[in-house]
Amino acid sequence: MEIGGKEVVIAALCKGSGMIAPSLATMIAVVTTDCAISPPALQAALGAAMKKSFNALTVDGDMSTNDVVFALANGLAGNAPLSDPGPDLDRFTAALAAVCEELAKEIAADGEGATKVVEVHVSGAPSDEVALDCARAVAGSSLVKAAIFGADPNWGRVLASIGARAGTAGYPIEPAQAKVSVQSMEVYDRAPVAHDTSVLKARMREPEVRVAVDLRAGNGSGVAWGCDLTYDYVKINADYTSLIVPRPDGGVAKDDRLANYSPTFKQQLLVEALGYIRRFAGTRCVVKYGGAAMMKESLKKSFCDDIGLLRSVGLHPRWCTAADPRSPAPWKSSAASPSSWTASASPTPAISRSSRWCSPAPSTPTSLPCSIKRAVRRWAFPVRTAPCFAPASCKARGATSARSAR
């Protein structure tokens, strides 16, 4: 912006993800400017900016003891110092508020597990303060947030959160007289409003969802921001302390291995994974076999187990290797499970000038030849193009290519 004939810059950065709510939050923001401005004027401008930015933000309604916004000015722009009220100070304050509002929305978008930003605009309130308080109540409602995640235009939850807040604070508001819109489509106006549900649900899957409420109780208005409530938020916070481990240098790190999660989460993950894998039942998948897996007995066994798991969920695995085809097959390893393989089904690779091979996994009928890069053999065949373990260059005909088995 230009102030006093000089170009002035405002820059800012912030940190925030979870435990974000007005008053106290796990949030740090730093605003810098080269504007020449007195400390009292800067403090006043920053305080005014907070009301409609960071103080209008909620991710999960929880607060911590760490919450700060710094504003730093070095005066290098060379403008006449701002200290008294006037047009220049008003422009600076408006620009600072705009920057803080943008950061607040970015924090909402980056909330733990968030998939959508939620903007709640409340109008027709007895005052701006009441409007902002009601907007924060809607944005912070777990039921509203869950409905947003599920693309459910649940106007009842919106009005219930406003009614609860109004009743607690004694606001002269009658939620039943309000009008509610979601993504600019009316869903309630003193009574439920008919609307195209499929169209509205599709629009609610957009990355930003706007909820507007007209309380018809005054001229006050306010806007608050939040995010949806997802499965990932629960996952992140359910095992929080068990994932934090000390580092040798005295710091801490996150150990995010699946073994550290709760049994309930593992079961849910397994159910969802099997449901996903089931979609590929009856198709062929390609698994790379090479490197250390060809040398270590434990890895040979793991490879065999992986092939068995793929077959158990209905896939038809094929293995590819860049090694000499005369190298011992994994199922000939002493570590491999005898029940997983049959000697009669073990392929006997033919000698070829190519060093890249792809073979059906044991116990796969010989009547189902594998087609990869137009090279077809019954049990073992060369692939003379790109390495077949790369998904982009190795696909079974009409099937899905996979890198790993688990």
Residues 6+ apart with CB under 8 A from 373: 383, 384, 385, 386, 388, 393, 394
**26 counts as catalytic:** yes
Measure the CA angle with vertex 271, ends 270 and 272; round to 5°.
Answer: 90
Q: Considering 26, 33, 58, 230, which one is annotated as catalytic?
A: 26
Nearest CA to 165 out of 130, 191, 212 is that of 130
Task: Output the 3-class SS for the chain.
Answer: CEECCEECCEEEEEECCCCCCCCCCCEEEEEEECCCECHHHHHHHHHHHHHCCHHHECCCCCCCCCEEEEEEECCCCCCCCECCCCHHHHHHHHHHHHHHHHHHHHHHHCCCCCCCEEEEEEEEECCHHHHHHHHHHHHHCHHHHHHHHCCCCCHHHHHHHHHHHHHHHCCCCCHHHCEEEECCEEEEECCECCCCHHHHHHHCCCCEEEEEEECCCCCEEEEEEEECCCHHHHHHHHCCHHHEEECCCCCEEECCCHHHCCHHHHHHHHHHHHHHHHCCCCCEEEEECCHHHHCCHHHHHHHHHHHHHHHHCCCEEEEEECCCCCCCCHHHCCCCCHHHCCHHHCCCCCCCCCCCEEEECCCCCCCCCEEECCEEECCCEECCCCCCCCCCCCCECCCCCCCCCC
Residues with a catalytic annotation lie at 26
